[in-house]
Amino acid sequence: MATYVLIHGAGSNAWYWHLVAPLLRARGHDVVAPDLPCDDDSAGLAEYADVVVDAVGGRTDLVVVAQSMAGFTAPLVCDRLRVDLLVMLAAMVPSPGESPGDWWANTGHEQARRELDAREGRPSGGDFDIAVTFLHDVPPDVAAGAMSRGRNQSGTPFEKPWPLHAWPDVPTEFLLCRDDRLFPAEFMRRLAHDRLGIVADEMDGGHLVALSRPEELADRLEAYRRKDRSPRSRPAV
């Protein structure tokens, strides 16, 4: 039995995982899905990691799954706990000393997103539309639940540099979403290669695949957990 530690992204909460968590529990695993203090202006990345570490407690056999902005928090958790596997799910990948606020320009995200919008016939710029960017492939009833549970995201964790000097020494998988309108697939392929030195795995679906394709996501996570991991070099940034 493993313990899946599911970390949600910005402006979200543990409900994001409410369809995936029971699927993993049905396979005999423990699941920890804490609520990060997204709307607390006194909380930064260190405090986010504290919440996760406290929620894990003394559990072992940890598989940490980081969605979106949780890519900045999950490695801090891996630096403090013994983690068997880290799965980056449509996740931001930090470099040492880089703040989440600087990540967007440093990675060329805006250009990549504008190019995707142009290819798919969506206007660039203007007001951010959550439904268009995040919920386009989520079932209507689930999308309504997501809209009703959104939280304000404090800017505090975007301000300070990511504190690690290198990627933690833990096996890492990177799963991108081919229909992601926030983090375009080609952009994420490059990010995984350039910053982690690994080839990204891929699945269909938009940015919120835990809501749109929970069964397939649970299957992917289980496949990663069971994967034969002979000694190999670890990703380093």
- Per run of 10 residues, the mean pLDDT along the chain (length 237 residues) is 97 97 98 97 98 98 98 98 98 98 97 94 82 96 94 96 97 98 98 97 98 98 90 51
What three-state secondary structure class fits 63?
strand
Residue 231 placed within a domain: no
Which helix (DSSP H) or strand (DSSP E) does residue 65 occupy?
A: strand 62-67
Rounded Cα gap, residues 179 and 75, in angstroms: 25
The pLDDT of residue 98 is 98
Note the pLDDT of residue 54.
Answer: 98
pTM of the model: 0.95
Distance CA 205, CA 35 (A): 24
173: its two tokens: 């998988």
pLDDT value at position 198? 95
Q: Write the CATH number for 152.
A: 3.40.50.1820
- Cα gap 206→210, rounded to integer Å: 10
Assess contact for 187 and 91: CB atoms under 8 A.
no
Segment 223-231 long-range contacts (CB within 8 Å, at least 24 positions apart): 224/63, 224/85, 224/87, 224/173, 225/2, 225/63, 225/84, 225/85, 227/173, 229/171
Short-list 5, 11, 36, CA closest to 146: 11
Please report whether residue 156 resides in a domain: yes
Give pLDDT, residue 237.
55
What is the pLDDT, as a whole number, of residue 14? 97
Residue 127: per-residue pLDDT? 73
Let me know: does 70 contact 34? Beta carbons within 8 Å: no
233 within a domain of the structure (yes/no): no
CA-angle at 89, arms to 4 and 222, nearest 5°: 45
Single out the residue of 35, 10, 39, 7 nearest to residue 20, CA to CA. 7
CB within 8 Å of 62: residues ≥ 6 apart: 2, 3, 5, 56, 81, 82, 83, 84, 85
User: What was the pLDDT predicted at 126?
Assistant: 67
Domain annotation covers residue 232:
no
**Contact (CB, 8 A) for 94 and 162:** yes
- Determine the pLDDT at residue 128: 79
In a domain, 188, yes or no: yes
d(CA 209, CA 195): 23
Res 236: pLDDT: 52
Measured at the alpha carbon of residue 67, what is the angle toward residues 179 and 102, in degrees to the nearest 5? 90
Overall domain count for the chain: 1
For residue 59, the tally of other CB atoms under 10 A from its CB is 13
**Residue 54 maps to a domain:** yes
Confirm whether 234 is domain-assigned.
no
- Tokens found for residue 115: 């190019």
Predicted pLDDT at 143: 96
What is the SS3 assignment for 13? coil
Tell me which residue range forms the domain holding 68.
3-226
- pLDDT recorded at residue 229: 75
Q: What is the maximum span of the chain, computed from C-alpha positions, in angstroms?
A: 50
Q: Decide if 142 is inside a domain.
A: yes
